Amino acid sequence: MELVEAIVLAVLAASTPLLIAATGELVTERAGVLNLGVEGMMIVGAACGFAGAWLTGSTTLGALCGIVAGTLLSLIFAMMTLGLAVNQVATGLALTILGIGLSGLIGAGFVGEKVTPAAHLHIPGLTDIPLVGRILFGEDAFVYLSLALLVGVWLFLYRTRAGLVLRAIGDNHVSAHALGYPVLKIRLFAVMFGGACAGLAGAYLPLAYTPFFIPGMTAGRGWIALALVVFSSWRPGLLVVGAYLFGAVTILQLHAQGAGFGIPSQFMSALPYLATVIVLVLISRARTGGSTAPAALGTVFVPDR
Amino acid sequence: MQLVLEKRAERSKAIALISPLIAIGLTIVTMSILFAILGKNPISALGVYFIDPLTDSYSLQELVVKATPLVMIAVGLSLCYLANAWNIGAEGQFLIGAVAGSWLAVKTQGTGAGHWVLPAMLLLGAVAGALYALIPAICKVRFGAGEILTSLMLVYVADLFLDYLVRGPWRDPAGFNFPTTAEFDPVATVPVLIEGGRLHLGAIIALLVVAAATVLLGRTIKGFEIRVVGAAPRAAGFGGFNSNQLILLTFAISGALAGLAGIIEVAGPVGHLQPGISPGYGFTAIIVAFLGRLNPVGILIAGLFLALTFIGGEQAQIAMKIPLDVTKVFQGILLFYVLACDSLILYRFRLIFASRQVPSGTG
């Protein structure tokens, strides 16, 4: 039973950065913008988040640094793709390359340092309930925040007028423009929200997941977050299922490595990446009746005034 | 004040030619600022980056050695991008090509095999790279799975597979437990062009690849189909071009070239299989392809330029203690400027000042 509890806790921790980054990207993509730079924004968020927390001694300020860094990078992306109508795929790749370089520069001075990991919630009585206590009432703030963020995004997209406008812009920017909605402005906000989430997700890694910074520590999580958005069919409800499923794959392969079934560890480490490919194939195959992607996803929009 | 894009009636040829130069100029200005922030003298840093590698024979050879894989991979990628197929997993195809070719080198080690080994290795590398690239292409054509994410995920898989081989079955028994194969036999090594130098046969192969791609794109029906499918998919459909077949073809070619580059790198400058054989050639080649305007000759020039940033980066690290990551920042910024300047080919930028704006009745 102890082991089950430990595994669930580890799965939640491993899933949280995926969930946060994917929630942000979901909003960006729902507005019709494909930002492939999630990995780059995440890794800069990780470096800045760690730097901020190490310098100030505060996890909250560190997380804020990560958010600001991710948002700033997403602004470069917005300037290029919204302002100058540049191809979104290529710009996203450029953002990732730049992000990996920048995080190395920023983080170089912090390799080998440690910070106090994010505090876990403790409610006397509730947290001490056997089995479920620590899982429900003993997480760090990021885990609760990620779920609140997801519910907030769901409410925004499906229960507010602004959310409806955002989805309309993602499906048909020409019609939305003709109706007088500010397509580029709303897309700018959506891109910035995606950047802020990616930065926060990156900051989670050195602030709560492991209390130190390693160059390249996102290890493709930004790309997996992008795959999760596809997996979810751009719906928040399925996103949380996907994120926890991937967290589970990550943790189970770690445990399998520990147990050692005679399978080389590299094969187990490759599992999350192979699972992503397989899931993408299965989900695309199931959708033979037409795509569920926002119709204008990835296309440039130049208003004709 | 507001920036407005106006579509040009046709692509501006003049700007198409000078836009990469503008991009490089802007990048150098930005880098000078970055060097100043890092507390280094920008002039001497730029000198170490861009001038010093061109001043001695060793560095010049090294420049071509580094440009060889970049050019080969980028030529393949440009075919994909022209056909609007987004292969971003060239790094993985490079590694798998290196692994497949190395298999033969490891198996024939010390058996006194003849001169057939190297050509067979190159062939194996190209075939394996092509097959590995076909995985995302088939997933795309057959199941509609986005090729961007699948091709990238396979990079991580290839990287781990190579790591497993050199730490496990292929590890050099006399290698003091280092994760590497034994040095390849002379018959399994790409010959150098100048005795005692670094320049090797791969450079000639890269030039042949550039020539072949120029002919393919400019002189053949297939090349025309590739360009039409990317630029005007509807027209290509009316023309009866099979876009799925072209996706498979361009992925296979680019995978083969990346795989070939991989085995040439391992059997040439490196001499054995080990982790970290690529400082990100597969990703940098994406920048090379765009900077070279997806044109084979342009890619040749762009490949040499980006090779310069690798060597300059290494020298700047040694001479001025500038971190190696500056090279990646440099490459990322360069790609941003290249893409931004490309926008000038299609659009005219105009700044509109709110106070002077006249309400138009036609809009």
Interface predicted TM-score (ipTM) = 0.89
Q: Looking at the partner chain, which of A104, A219, A284 has a beta carbon nearest the beta carbon of B145?
A: A284
User: Regarding beta strands B347-352 and B2-7, do their DSSP bridges make them parallel or antiparallel, or are they unpaired?
Assistant: antiparallel
Phi-psi region of B280 (alpha: psi -120 to 50; beta: other; left: phi over 0): left
Q: Which pLDDT score, from 0 to 100, does residue A288 have?
A: 60
State how far residue B164 is from chain A, nearest Cα, in angstroms: 6
Q: DSSP string of A16-66?
A: HHHHHHHHHHHHHHHTT---TTHHHHHHHHHHHHHHHHHHH--HHHHHHHH
Q: For residue A290, what pLDDT is reported?
A: 59
User: Closest Cα of chain A to B322: distance in Å?
Assistant: 10
Query: What's the pLDDT at B355?
Result: 55
Q: Is B149 in Cβ contact with A85 (below 8 Å)?
A: no
Chain A residue whose CA is closest to B284? A97
Fold assignment, B54-306: ABC transporter involved in vitamin B12 uptake, BtuC (1.10.3470)
Q: How confident is the model at residue A260 (pLDDT cuts 50, 70, 90)?
A: low
Per-residue pLDDT at B3: 79
Model confidence pLDDT, tens digit, residues A197-236: 999 999 999 998 988 898 889 989 999 999 999 988 899 9
The residues spanned by each domain of chain B are 54-306
In this structure, what token pair is assigned to residue B206?
Answer: 């890269």
C-beta atoms surrounding A279 within 10 Å: 20
pLDDT at residue A79, rounded to an integer: 93
Instruction: Tabulate helix, strand, coil % of chain A (nearest 5).
Output: 70, 0, 25
- Which amino acid does the sequence have at A7? I
Do the beta carbons of residue B247 and residue B141 sit within 8 Å? yes
pLDDT at B39: 87
Nearest residue, CB atoms, B154 vs list A97, A277, A305:
A277
The CATH class of A2-286 is mainly alpha
Q: Give the model confidence (pLDDT) of A12-60 as tens digits.
A: 999 999 999 999 999 999 999 999 999 999 999 999 999 999 999 899 9
Q: In the structure, what pLDDT confidence band is assigned to residue A289 with cuts at 50, 70 and 90?
A: low
Closest-CA residue to B307 (of B73, B94, B133): B73
- With CA atoms as reference, the chain A residue closest to B325 would be A101
Q: State residue A254's pLDDT score.
A: 83
User: Do the Cβ atoms of A87 and A300 come closer than 8 Å?
Assistant: yes
Interchain contact A14–B (C-beta under 8 A) = no
> Can you tell me the distance from the alpha carbon of A209 to that of A115, in angstroms, rounded to the nearest whole number?
11
- Provide the percentage of residues in chain B whose pLDDT is more than 70: 97
A140, pLDDT greater than 90: no
Q: Report CA-CA distances (Å) from B161 to A117, A193, B343, B355.
A: 33, 37, 40, 62
The dihedral formed by the CA atoms of B348, B351, B354 and B355, expressed in degrees to the nearest 10: -110
Tens place of pLDDT for every residue, chain B, 363 residues?
Answer: 677 888 887 777 788 888 888 999 999 999 999 999 888 889 988 888 888 888 888 889 999 999 999 999 999 999 999 999 999 999 999 999 999 999 999 999 888 888 899 999 999 999 999 999 999 999 999 988 889 999 999 999 999 999 999 998 999 888 888 899 999 999 999 999 888 888 999 999 999 999 999 999 999 999 999 998 888 888 888 888 888 999 999 999 999 999 999 999 999 999 999 998 998 899 999 999 999 989 999 999 999 999 998 898 888 888 888 888 888 899 999 999 999 988 888 888 887 776 554 544 443
A240 pLDDT higher than 70: yes
Compute the average pLDDT of residues A153-169. 95
For residues A96 and A37, give the distance between their C-alpha atoms in angstroms, rounded to a whole number.
Answer: 5
CA distance A62 to A213: 13
pLDDT digits (tens, 9 = 90+) for B98-156: 999 999 999 998 888 888 999 999 999 999 999 999 999 999 999 888 899 999 999 99
At A87-112, the pLDDT tens digits run 899 999 999 999 999 999 998 888 88
Q: Indicate which of B143, B161, B334, B346 best probes the interface with A, i.e. most A CBs within 10 Å of its own CB.
A: B143
| Nearest-CA distance B134 → chain A (Å) | 13
Interface list for A 72-91 with B (CB within 8 A): 76, 80, 83-87, 89-91
Nearest-Cα distance to chain B for A76, in Å, is 9
- Per-residue pLDDT, B319: 86
Does B345 contact chain A (CB < 8 Å)? no
* Cα(B52)–Cα(A24) distance, integer angstroms: 45
**Are B339 and A91 an interchain contact pair (Cβ–Cβ within 8 Å)?**
yes
